[in-house]
Amino acid sequence: MRVVKVSILIPNYNFARYLPEAIDSVLTQDFRDYELLIVDNCSTDNSVEIIRSYTARDSRIKLVVNKSNLGMVGNLNKCLSLAQGEYIKFVFADDLLVGGQALGELVRMLDHHRSAVAAASARNIIDQDSRFICLRNDLGKSGVYNGLEVILKCLEKNANLVGEPSAVLFRRSAAARGFHPDYNQIVDLEMWIHLLQNGDIAYTNRPLCAFRRHPAQQTELNQSDARIGREQLTLTAEISRQPWFKSAESRRALFTQLYSLKKKRGCDSYSHDVENELMSMLGLAQYARLYMLHRSSRSLFNAQRFVKKHILGQQV
C-alpha cells in the first residue's frame, strides 16, 4: 500500500462556523498527494453534518467521530494515531491555509533540507470574520535554523517563535511520542521543543496559513487559566536538565524564564521547588549580573523611546 506524502489533520470541536473555510483551503491546494483526516471531538453543533457533505464528494477526506470527548490534547494525539503520511500538517478547524501553493511550499522545504524535522511559515492573523489583523513573522528571515538555537530563543523571548500548529509541517517519524499529555496551554511549544532537540527547522517568512483570533478559541480560553505558569515552570525545568543546556545563551534564556516566572508564579510548593531548582542551576551571582544587565538595557530602551516620541516626534 502506497504511503501518502502528507496527512492533513483537522481536529474539530464545535467549529461548524469555520470548518468550510478550513476544508476549502485544503482542497484548493496545488499539491495533491495527501489524505485529509477530520477528527470530531463530540461536537454539539452541526459540524459532523458539514464534514459529511465533504466526504461524500472527495474520497481523500475521512471523518472520525470520537465516542467521547478526549480533550484538546487527546484529540490531537488521536489525529496523529490515525495518520499514514510521511509528513504531518495540522490545520485547526478555525484556521486555514493561505494560497494554493502553501502545502507544496512547506513540503519542498522539508524535502530539500534533510536535517530539518519541521518546516514553518509566517502567518496572517485574522479575526472571527476572516479580516486581516496583522502578520506574525517571529523568526524573521527565511532559511534553516538550528533547532537548539531556536529553543533558546523561545526561552529568552518567553514566546513560541515557531508558531501555532497550523503554521507547521513536521516529519511523522520524529513525532512518534505524540503531544505531551501533561501540557495543555503550551502543548504546541512543548512539542516543537521536543522535535527541535533532534533537528533543525526550515522557515519561510511568507505567510502560508492564517491563524484566527476569536473569543471561543482554545488560546483565548487558555489565557485565563492559571496553569500556564506551572506549565512554563515544568517545561523550563525539563529543558534545563538536558546535557546541551550549558552555554551562555542557555544562562540568558534561563534568567528570562526565572525573571518572568517570579513575577507571576503561583504560591504552591511545586512552583517554589522548581524555581529553587532553576536558581541553583543558574546561581545567585549569575542571576544578579543578568538582572542588572536587563535593567540597564530596559532603561536604555525606554530612553530611546522617549527621545523618538517626545523630542523627534516619531511614532513608536
Confidence of residue 312 (pLDDT cuts 50, 70, 90): low
Weakest-pLDDT range from 123-137, 164-178, 181-195, 269-283: 269-283
The HSE-up count of residue 154 (CA atoms within 13 Å, CB side) is 25
Confidence of residue 288 (pLDDT cuts 50, 70, 90): confident
Q: What pLDDT score was predicted for residue 18?
A: 97
Weakest-pLDDT range from 25-34, 177-186, 209-218, 259-268: 259-268
DSSP alpha helices (H): ranges in the chain? Answer: 19-27, 47-55, 71-82, 102-112, 147-157, 187-196, 218-223, 227-240, 248-264, 269-282, 284-306
Q: What confidence tens digit (pLDDT) does each residue in 194-252 have? A: 999 999 999 999 999 999 998 876 554 555 456 777 888 889 888 888 888 877 667 77
- Are the C-beta atoms of residues 172 and 88 closer than 8 Å to each other? yes
Q: How much is the mean pLDDT over the chain?
A: 87
Angle in degrees, CA 214, 138, 116, rounded to 5: 110
Q: What pLDDT score was predicted for residue 119?
A: 98
Q: What pLDDT score was predicted for residue 310?
A: 58
pLDDT at 298 over 70: no
Q: What pLDDT score was predicted for residue 254?
A: 74
Q: What pLDDT score was predicted for residue 122?
A: 98
- Distance, in Å, from the CA atom of 115 to the CA atom of 117, rounded to the nearest integer, reads 7
Q: What pLDDT score was predicted for residue 248?
A: 61
- Distance, in Å, from the CA atom of 192 to the CA atom of 212, rounded to the nearest integer, reads 20
Full 3-state SS string of 76-101? HHHHHHHCCCCEEEECCCCCEECCCC
Q: What confidence tens digit (pLDDT) does each residue in 138-185 have? A: 999 999 999 999 999 998 888 899 999 999 999 999 999 999 999 999
- The mean per-residue pLDDT over the stretch 54-61 comes to 93
pLDDT at 2 over 80: no
> Which has the higher per-residue pLDDT, 41 or 266?
41
Q: What pLDDT score was predicted for residue 87?
A: 98
pLDDT at 267 over 70: no
Q: What pLDDT score was predicted for residue 259?
A: 73
Q: What pLDDT score was predicted for residue 174?
A: 97
